[in-house]
Amino acid sequence: MALIPTLAAIFIACTFMGSHNSVTAQLAFGFYSSTCPKAEQIVSSVVQQSVQANSRMAAILLRLHFHDCFVQGCDGSILIEGDKAEKHAFGHQGVQGFDVIETAKAQLESECRGVVSCADIVAMAARDAVALDLILPDDAEWRTGLSGSDGRRDGLTSTTSSADDMPEVTESIEQLKNKFIQKGLSVKDFVLLNAAHTIGTTACFFMTNRLYNFPDGTSDPTINPAFLPELEATCPKDGDVNVRLAADRESELKFDDSILRNIRNGFAVLESDAKLYTDAETISVVDSYVSPLNFLTGPNFGADFAESMVNMGMIDVKTGSQGQIRRVCSAFN
């Protein structure tokens, strides 16, 4: 096993004909190599500095990419500022990292004006943040190639209502699975992308129903009895809902498969994560990574997570006249 390759090695030559939905696109190796040769270096440097300054930033940038892609596709629409803009939707509450993207964009505009889209910056930033910690086999690389002859373009619309159908922690496992399937993702992608909760934190706001207002008036029965007092102590009834706790117990800062082990053993923090072990399809995926014989016969978590990120990064990609290259990420041109 080896640490994921450095930025220059992360892009590999590959072609993807047809995106998950309506856009036909091709992944391009080293897309900006001639038009903005320092693009990847600039984004990588900004991300590294940000992660060094804030240990939570890797999780923040990963979440930003997810929330961008799940609404109108990976088009940077979540970055637009305005009272009725998408970023202020209820489903996006707590999403951060916008300043990191703007910092990278400003440096890129100084280096090569009007070349690198904000949508591509979001995708690269998420990749680079996780690349600082994700362990992969020697022959595996993160294949988040840029799409089409024009790269990802920035979307032309951004409204709060467009984010009305974001996945929510209280939804049923079938509702959650279907939301991912509707985006062209598989059940395996669904499990692995949820496993991104292996880094970062959540707020007690998302724990109240699970701990005190479950349908039978008590706590979620899927919580391991040994774990319940710990959660209640961190998030007491009528306590401060803004208190944060690790989404992956005892492994908040390490990108690994411990989140899946916690889910299997009843130590999931989020209700939506716990539900991954209540459905035959998702249980099968979880077990494939955490079975005792996984190291001999099972799939590789890091490599498969990277592949699922590739799939997510192709949701409704916009190219050519379908979008623009914004001058600043927070406003349309």
Domain 15-165+310-322 has CATH 1.10.520.10: yes
Residue 99 assigned to a binding site: no
- Residues 45-85: pLDDT tens digits? 999 999 999 989 999 999 999 999 999 999 999 999 999 99
Q: How far apart are CA 237 and CA 174, in angstroms?
A: 29
Q: How far apart are CA 207 and CA 169, in angstroms?
A: 9
H-helix or E-strand spanning residue 173: helix 173-181
- Catalytic residue chosen out of the listed positions 20, 65, 67, 92: 67
Q: Do domains 15-165+310-322 and 173-307 have the same CATH topology?
A: no
- Residues 108-165: pLDDT tens digits? 999 999 999 999 999 999 988 888 876 544 444 454 455 444 579 999 999 999 999 9
Residue 73 assigned to a binding site: yes
- Kindly state the average pLDDT of the residues 98-109: 98
67 is catalytic: yes
- Residues 206-226: pLDDT tens digits? 999 999 999 877 899 999 999
Other beta carbons within 10 Å of 53? 9
Residue spans of the domains in the chain: they are 15-165+310-322, 173-307
- Sorting pLDDT into bands at 50, 70 and 90, what band is 31? confident
Residue 86 assigned to a binding site: yes
CATH architecture of the domain with residue range 173-307: Orthogonal Bundle (1.10)
Are 129 and 61 contacting, i.e. CB atoms less than 8 angstroms apart? yes
Is residue 195 exposed (0-12), middle (13-18) or buried (19+ Cβ within 10 Å)? buried
**pLDDT at 6 > cutoff 90:** no
Are 58 and 199 contacting, i.e. CB atoms less than 8 angstroms apart? yes
